[in-house]
Amino acid sequence: MVRLLCVFYLIVTAVCADTVSAQLPAVVEDYPIHPDSVQKPGVPEGMVTQGTSTGSKLFPGTVRDYWIYVPKQYDGSKPAALMVFQDGGGYAKRNGGTNVPNVFDNLIHSGEMPVTIGLFINPGVVPAKNENSQARFNRSYEYDSVDDRYSRFLIEEFIPMIESEHKLKISNDPNDRGLCGSSSGGICAFTAAWHRPDVFRRVFTTVGTYVGLRGGHELSTLVRKAEPKPLRIYLQDGANDNNIYGGDWWMANQALLRSFEFCGYEVEHAWGNGGHNGKHGAAIFPDAMRWLWKDHGKLPVKTHPEKSKSEANKFLVEGSGWELVTSGHQWAEGMAITDDGTLFFTDVPASKLVKITPDGKQTLLVEDTGEANGIALGPDGKLYGACSKAKQIRAWDLATMKMEVVAEGTNSNDLVVRHDGSIYYTDPAAGKIWMLDGKTRQRREVDSFRDCNGITLSADQTQLFVSHFPGRFIYAFTIADDGSLENKQPYYHMELPINEPSGHLDGMCVSKDGWLISATEAGVQICDQPGRVHLLMSLPYGSKRPCYARFGGKDNKTLYVANVDKIWKRELQLEGAKPYVAPVKPPKPQL
């Protein structure tokens, strides 16, 4: 019954696709069968076996058929390469459709592909409860969603299951792994590799659904804004592909190609006049495999800054990635870095203040900070802290570590100290922004701001920036001569995480030339003065969300990012501005 449901679902999907295509002008599509798509005498034939999978935790209740192709040359003595096909039932046939087993036989035999196991997976189906109810067909949910759930399904559940149950050795080298798919399976293949280039690096996608069904229309922009990833991608589409309520497939594929080329990706494409079907894709499949696997074992798939126009070239230092500074903390967040490169940070729930010197020596300075969160250096050389549990703003003399209470009876989250000694801090519990006068320490409310969080100053110290934690905007204020705030605007338009409505906009810093760097749920975002995101940087996969960002290190060009249990650092081409010293005027931005 389950298998019949899966087969029925694939038939319905095909009929729906044909119905949509039938609404378009008729196009004669006549593609000859590629010589490498047919069985050849003397070529060893791999074996295709079929199975059924249940028990997924990421897609609970689903049942799916799958097929495995094992080449004749595989003897288990060493791990094989892997190619994963979405909508696998349409690819697993030896004679019909894309003829993948034949192609693999021929190219593995000729040495144009490594010994490669093919894994063909159908989308999940949650069976109907009874004869009067409908099954839940997971194809769009699993494939069109552009979050990391499907990649996790493959990596954490499905591939380990295949290795275990079928006694297969699959290489862990991402250069040995690829993904294929058509239509929704195409965007699924790319998205899985996009999220996990540490696992998959070769992608073939035909008539890919990069449109507005579940966020796919955003990918062409995100590719441009994200730090380029080591991927090799082959795209196919036709001028008569779908043009329906969710978007224009033909234009979307071209836009994605332009984004890949803009960022220097290893990308190839084949455009035709066909509709939303697999005919052209099947005809070029052997040549696409040749291109995807070229130089295998000699050259890895990598990024190409020399060809890229990505903003990453403007901000990042080539060859410099994220370095781990410290780990094992409950919630590392607030950070401040002195001129000699000494890092101070808070572990909020542990109520600790820790120092790390440039030589890496770590010292516990304060055992009870009153659960200090944000910290900031002041012009007097003291370290100020937003001590939320103690309901105080505190200051520590860094020479003696003597503590003084600057303000009493106040909730706080993050703070910044201006060159004149005035302090601005956020109070999300009360939904307010407060100012402490630099001389009198008199406190006054300067704005009512629900869910306020991270806070910093512009390089010229005439503007205050405050993040709206759950949303997508960082607000800008003008600081009046008396220290009050005016001209409030939801100014910085931040990128939200894919399929996640919460921005979690947190700790921020700015560069001398006016760039704002913010820790967010979507990653570390770099924005220009007019409030636009230019670059998204992701921490190593598996890291918790970034929650605080500060400049420090040599020449103040090292970005430190706290992300709950760890702190990372990375060299940038930007030089950080220090709010507690004399302001600097940034250049006028491009408008």
What pLDDT, in 10s, does the model give residues 402-444?
999 999 999 999 999 999 999 999 999 999 999 999 999 999 9
- CB of 241 closer than 8 Å to CB of 270: no
Using the predicted structure, report yes or no on whether residue 564 has a pLDDT greater than 90: yes
Q: Contact 491/474 with Cβ under 8 angstroms?
A: yes
| 146 SS3 class | coil
19 pLDDT higher than 50: no
Which residue from 333, 364, 329 is spatially nearest to 350, judged by alpha carbons? Answer: 329
Query: Under a CB-based contact definition with an 8 Å cutoff, are residues 252 and 215 in contact?
Result: no
- Among candidates 452, 460, 507, which has minimal Cα distance to 479? 460
- Per the document, the length of the chain is 591
pLDDT digits (tens, 9 = 90+) for 440-483: 999 999 999 999 999 999 999 999 999 999 999 999 999 999 99
Phi, psi (degrees; rounded to nearest 5) at 195: -75, -30
| 8 has a pLDDT exceeding 50 | no
- 332 within 8 A of 345, measured Cβ to Cβ: yes
Residue with tokens 């005016």: 486
Q: Check residue 9 and give its pLDDT.
A: 47
Is residue 361 within 8 A of residue 348, CB to CB? The reply is: no
Token pair, residue 412, equals 């706080």
For 381-406, what is each residue's pLDDT tens digit? 999 999 999 999 999 999 999 999 99
Tokens at 392, concatenated: 């105080």
Are the C-beta atoms of residues 180 and 91 closer than 8 Å to each other? yes
Q: What is the pLDDT of residues 472-509, one digit of tens each?
A: 999 999 999 999 999 999 999 999 988 778 999 999 99
Q: What percent of the chain has pLDDT over 70?
A: 96
Residue among 214, 291, 296, 216 nearest 251 (CA): 216
211-263: pLDDT as tens digits:
999 999 999 999 999 999 999 999 999 999 999 999 999 999 999 999 999 99
Q: What are phi and psi of 443, to 5 degrees?
A: -100, 140
Give the pLDDT of residue 12. Answer: 42
With a cut of 80, say whether residue 356 has pLDDT above it.
Answer: yes
pLDDT of residue 25: 56
- pLDDT tens for 130-156 read 999 999 999 999 999 999 999 999 999
Residues 6+ apart with CB under 8 A from 156: 58
**What is the band of 28 on the pLDDT scale with cuts at 50, 70, 90?**
confident
Question: At residue 22, does pLDDT exceed 50?
Answer: no
DSSP track, 345-367 = EEETTTTEEEEE-TT--EEEEES
Closest CA to 286 of 45, 31, 102: 102
Please say if the pLDDT value at position 590 is more than 90.
Answer: no
Tokens of residue 567, six digits: 């702190």
Confidence of residue 7 (pLDDT cuts 50, 70, 90): very low
Place of tokens 């009198």: 440
- Enter the tokens of residue 106: 């021929």
**Angle at CA of residue 589, ends 583 and 591, nearest 5°:** 145
| 69 φ/ψ angles, rounded to the nearest 5 degrees | -100, 125
The DSSP-derived string for 161-214 is: HHHHHTT--B---GGGEEEEEETHHHHHHHHHHHH-TTT--EEEEES---STTT
Q: In the chain, what are the domains?
A: 2-24+33-292 (3.40.50.1820), 312-571 (2.120.10.30)
Please identify which residue in the block is written with the tokens 């010589």.
35
Tokens of residue 7, six digits: 């087969």
Mean pLDDT of the chain: 94
Residue linked to tokens 């001398």: 512
Query: In whole angstroms, what is the distance from residue 344 CA to residue 357 CA?
Result: 9
Assign 17 a pLDDT band (cuts: 50, 70, 90).
very low
**Cβ atoms of 336 and 383 closer than 8 Å:** yes
- Interstrand relation of 177-182 and 202-206 (parallel, antiparallel or unpaired): parallel
Confidence of residue 26 (pLDDT cuts 50, 70, 90): low
584 contacts 459 by C-beta, under 8 angstroms: yes
Rounded to 5°, angle at Cα 145 from 143 and 149: 85
Confidence at residue 186, expressed as pLDDT on a 0 to 100 scale: 98
Q: Which amino acid is at 572?
A: L
Query: Tell me, what's the pLDDT at 255?
Result: 98
- DSSP letter string, 451-468: TEEEEEE-TTSSEEEEEE
Does the structure show a pLDDT above 60 at 14? Answer: no
Asked whether the whole model's pTM tops 0.85, one would answer: yes
Q: What is the pLDDT of residue 363?
A: 97
Look at residue 554 and give its three-state secondary structure. Answer: helix
Secondary structure letter of residue 158 according to DSSP? I
The yes-or-no verdict on residue 576 having pLDDT over 70 is: yes
pLDDT of residue 499: 75
